Amino acid sequence: MPDILQKAITQPPEASPEGGHTQVLLDAEHLAFRAELRAFVLREVVPIAEDYERAERFPSDLLKEKMAPQGYLGIPYPKEWGGRGLDYLAYAMAVEEFSRAWGSLGIIVAAHTTLGIGPLYNFGSESLKKAWVPRLAQGEIIGSYGLTEPQAGSDSGATHTTARRDGDGYILNGTKVFCTNATHAASTTLTAVTGKDAESGRSRISAFFVPRDTPGVMVTKHEDKLGLRGSDTSTVILEDARVSEHNMLGREGEGFKIFMQTLDNGRISIGAMALGLAQCALDEGLAYAHNGLGLFKSLFAEQETLALLADIATDISAARMMLYGVAKLKDAALPHTQEAAMAKFFASEVAMRATDRVLNLLGRDGGIRHDCPASRAFRDVKLCTIGEGTSEVQRLVISRELLRNYAKGENK
């Protein structure tokens, strides 16, 4: 992996594993930022990733001492709010590069940036944002997100957590599970039911920003996961936790809409994570083929291996074009629900195929070497077909948008 990254930094874009098409989508600033990211990853991430992963060690020191000073924990937020001041495409590229080296770091950054900060920045009151966004974007503290509940996974509308009005605040009770970063986070953005709609009888779901030190907030049950073992996934329990009415994001009853919009953006970052893991696998496959098989001396004798690598590279290239394209839609403030679902769905399925096929190519080495990046990527990538909506949910979102657009005459 280090040798491959070193070559990627020094080679021109058209000679990189991504291919020359990146020059069409990336301007000079983005290309320079990608080179910066790769140099950082090679210097600071690659040397520690495997040790941290095996020890299940959360990289607090890396985040605060190395990444925060570079602005990597607030990439898409304006400088006046403590961020790096870059666009969402740059942020997606960062998640891709971090994940290429270490999936746990990719998910930590994605959950903090999109889910931990995004709802607050986009829907919080001015006073709440001023108090918290700069600290989060500068990496002084990190954020987490609570949507999933024991009985409400893919069906986010089945939320049971409640928020009862109490004077000038709300009393929160409920449980949120699979909360990335929760143990180490200073805050959680979450949903809770604030009543029933009089006409439909459906729950009126609202969104809240909840500081970790709020009395009644407890973080428990660190999950023992298949992969991404350097990241933290825990349960957040709320027992009569009181927050101010000013901690509500948006207006009462808008929480479901707010979180669905947040997930549109989160799907871009999970798609980027999948891309990084897929590229990690391809890197390993290319190195194995070049160094171990003497491929350039016997191309026809190794057609099966060549075809496998060609399929993987083509899939990744198509997924990258889709993902970068939807990031540009987001940057242009254009609707991107369907496109984000498509990109996340395709990239995560591509990554599943890529890691599986490369492990088959590596054979024994892929199955027993603990320091094999492709093996780690294989374990990590399953999250990408689940987080921010499973692949099955993405299909529902895509088909719903297709039919909705058809009804409006936009697909005719």
List the structure tokens of 124: 């919080």
Contact between 91 and 71 under an 8 Å Cβ cutoff? The reply is no
Tokens of 254: 């808008």
Residues in the chain: 412
Select from 33, 60, 14 the least CA-distant residue to 184: 60
Instruction: Say which of 44, 96, 149, 388 is annotated catalytic.
Output: 388
Neighbours of 20 (CB within 10 A): 11
384/185 Cα distance (integer angstroms): 22
φ, ψ for residue 229, nearest 5 deg:
-80, -10
Contacts of 97 (CB under 8 A, 6+ apart): 34, 37, 38, 41, 276
126 counts as catalytic: no
- Beta-carbon contacts of residue 194 (< 8 Å; ≥ 6 apart): 162, 163, 165, 170, 204, 205, 206, 252, 253, 255
CA within 13 Å, CB half, 237? 7
Residue numbers annotated as active site: 388
